[in-house]
Structure 1
Amino acid sequence: MRTHYRFGHEWQVQARPDAVRALLEDVAGYGAWWPGLRVLADASTPSRRAARLEVRAPLGYRIRFTLTESSVDRHELRALLRGDLEGWCMWRVVATRGGSRVVFAQEVEARSRLLRLASPLLHHRLAGQHAALLGAAADGMRRALADGEGAPGQRVGAP
């Protein structure tokens, strides 16, 4: 069955990499800037950031999963997903002349009954929904960073 998905998206933001990383490292804060994504609970432990999330797709269905940090280094954040989707995702933030390039990659298997039934027939449409959600994430990230915090040449938190 076609229940496996692999995604890749990237966009540019006019903010320093450290400001972008700070936004991405706050998993429990994703709902504040990412339209279509709601944080159901902060599931962090002292050693790992995690959150229980719900995605409200444009077609009206909801996907719930727990996102748990699996590794962090200077340029990359990785997390595991468990729930209606199972797999991994990765954020990479790269400094550019105008700010930062944000790269998102994800590989998941549909686990919920609804997604497993719909995937063989609507695989392309469901992938399109993912692209729409990530487009909303890019726009939300730009808005969240646009107030000047983290803009190139400014300190984070500068007035």
Structure 2
Amino acid sequence: MDPNHYRFRGVWRLAAPASAVYAALEDVQGYPRWWPEIREVRRTGADSGDVVVRALLPYRLVIGLTATRRDPAAGVLEVAMRGDLDGWSRFTVTADEQPGGAGGVRESSAAGGAGGAGGAGSRVLFEEDTRPGKPLLRRLALPLHPLFRANHAVMMCRGRRGLAAHLAERGDR
């Protein structure tokens, strides 16, 4: 196992139409309004920018993002990452017609399972394949690998909750 290689995968289920979820995720400039760990977004080009991220651990990351795929018909948003993290990240948004649907917000992992009640909504598959670009993070990877993974899990959980609240405030339920 390479302690400097991270693969993340998770599923968010949201009580909002796929088109509204896709639009919110496509608006990277708006992330700081609803995702607590995304502290700042700076546009650097038409399809690129830098995000400043700080989760529970006492360090911040500056990650350059460049859009590599934006496909509303398939519900796919993908970026290449460079800087303090190098790799790629992807959201795939689809309608969720699952029984027990997305009347509330549910989260499940690749291993499955989460609760919820009534109706249809959206399913968001998050995938990321990355390596730290920051030298300090590479040096600390072996002893702190589980802590880095837990930090990412907290960030993603708070992102899901923030997005659900943001969509509900806008009436996208």
TM-score using structure 2 length: 0.81
Q: Could you tell me which runs of 5 or more consecutive residues in structure 2 were left unpaired when the two chains were aligned.
A: 98-119
Tell me if structure 1 keeps the 8 A contact 2:68–2:78: yes
State the shift of 1:58 in Å: 0.2
State the shift of 1:100 in Å: 0.2
Deviation string 1:133-158 (CA, Å, 9 cap, x unpaired) is 0001000000000125322xxxxxxx
Corresponding residue number in structure 2 for 1:156: none
Corresponding residue number in structure 1 for 2:10: 9
% identity of equivalent residues: 35
Q: Could you tell me which runs of 5 or more consecutive residues in structure 1 were left unpaired when the two chains were aligned.
A: 152-159
Residue 101 (1) aligns with residue 99 (2): no
Corresponding residue number in structure 2 for 1:65: 63
State the SS of the aligned residue for 1:146. Answer: helix
Deviation string 1:6-65 (CA, Å, 9 cap, x unpaired) is 0011111110011001101111111111111122412231xx2x2211111202111111
State the SS of the aligned residue for 2:68. Answer: strand
Residue 145 (1) aligns with residue 167 (2): yes
Single out whichever of 128-137 and 72-81 deviates more from structure 2.
Answer: 72-81
Residue 91 (1) aligns with residue 113 (2): no
- Cα distance change on mapping 1:148 and 1:80 into 2, 3 Å: same
TM-score using structure 1 length: 0.88
Divergent runs of 4+, >4 A: none
Amino acid at match of 1:85: L
Cα distance in 2 for partners of 1:137, 1:71 equals 21
- Cα distance change on mapping 1:17 and 1:123 into 2, 3 Å: same
Corresponding residue number in structure 2 for 1:52: 50
State the shift of 1:103 in Å: 1.1
Tell me if structure 1 keeps the 8 A contact 2:85–2:131: yes
Tell me if structure 1 keeps the 8 A contact 2:32–2:41: no
Single out whichever of 34-43 and 116-125 deviates more from structure 2.
Answer: 34-43
